[in-house]
Amino acid sequence: MSTGKDGKEAMRPVLSAVYHGTRETVGAALAGAESAGALLAVVQAALQHVEESVNGVRRESGVATACAVGCSFCCWLNIDVLAHEVLLMAAYVKAHRTPWEVEELAAAAVVRRDERAGLDHGARQRVRKPCLLLDDAVCSVYPVRPGACRRYWSGDLEACHAMWEDPEVTASVEFPLLQETGRAAAAGVHHAFVGAGYDGCFYDLPSALAEALTDPGCLERWCGGQKVFSEGAETRTPEGFRQAEALERLRRELGRGME
């Protein structure tokens, strides 16, 4: 499978099938889930589906990825997360750590949130700090990690290292076909949740995690189709882009049966 422009063109029907298949499958699973536990199980299955969609293309294309266990450069990057992804991680953390460890993580998340509170989009992107969920270079919530972490594949370890060492260094390390497949699957999941009436806002991971671990009302709000986290926890957007307007537009399009 080519990774050039022609290869991407040839992938278009596949990407469309990935998007629609994912959206329909996740939408049907959501319609049949009534309890918070059942809904979180749908979240986990949907994230697994994103991962497997990308892995399928990775195997088929034979691209040489450089990622390996214990390499965690990308866990220093800022990622956008959705409410259901944060709630799944919070539930996992509470089930696998002692109450004291949960409190310790929540306190660290509050500190990280406060450090980032005044930063605009560009400044946040330049922050280089390890993810709060990283433990000795290994993800401590690996089975429930967010979609963004499951679809990132690098082909150049040296470039990852260089970017990690110097925030001013930029390099293109990902594979377009894997990126596009991941995007299509992730969009299918996102749109299924938005179409079913759940919070579709993108959040800053440490800021949303701080709230998820300290406010028991978060899960209830999510199950009730309300906005889960505060405005302060939202992802900072580039100048001229408003997340609330984009989400409103998406809801309208989904209501009209967006293709």
Binding interface with ligand SF4 (CB under 6 A)? 75, 131, 133-134, 139, 141, 145-146, 149
Of residues 30 and 149, the one with the C-beta less far from ligand SF4: 149
Which of 258, 199, 259 has the alpha carbon at shortest distance from 231? 199
Q: Provide the minimum distance between the beta carbon of 27 and ligand SF4 in the complex, in angstroms, as a whole number.
A: 25
> 120 exposed, middle or buried (CB, 10 Å; 0-12, 13-18, 19+)?
exposed
Q: For 232, what's the count of Cα atoms within 13 Å in the CB-facing half-sphere?
A: 13
Q: Provide the minimum distance between the beta carbon of 165 and ligand SF4 in the complex, in angstroms, as a whole number.
A: 18
Q: Provide the minimum distance between the beta carbon of 174 and ligand SF4 in the complex, in angstroms, as a whole number.
A: 15
Q: Specify which residues 134 forms β-bridges with.
A: 139
- Asked whether the CA dihedral 224, 140, 22, 249 is positive or negative, the reply is positive
Of residues 57 and 209, the one with the C-beta less far from ligand SF4: 209
Burial 190-217 (b: 16+ CB within 10 A, else e): bbbbbbbebbbbbbbbbbbbbbbbebee
Of residues 25 and 179, the one with the C-beta less far from ligand SF4: 179
Of residues 22 and 72, the one with the C-beta less far from ligand SF4: 72
Which of 96, 87, 95, 113 has the alpha carbon at shortest distance from 193? 87
Of residues 145 and 190, the one with the C-beta less far from ligand SF4: 145
Q: Provide the minimum distance between the beta carbon of 80 and ligand SF4 in the complex, in angstroms, as a whole number.
A: 11
Of residues 27 and 206, the one with the C-beta less far from ligand SF4: 206
Q: Which two tokens stand for residue 114?
A: 């406060």
Q: Provide the minimum distance between the beta carbon of 214 and ligand SF4 in the complex, in angstroms, as a whole number.
A: 19
Q: Provide the minimum distance between the beta carbon of 149 and ligand SF4 in the complex, in angstroms, as a whole number.
A: 3
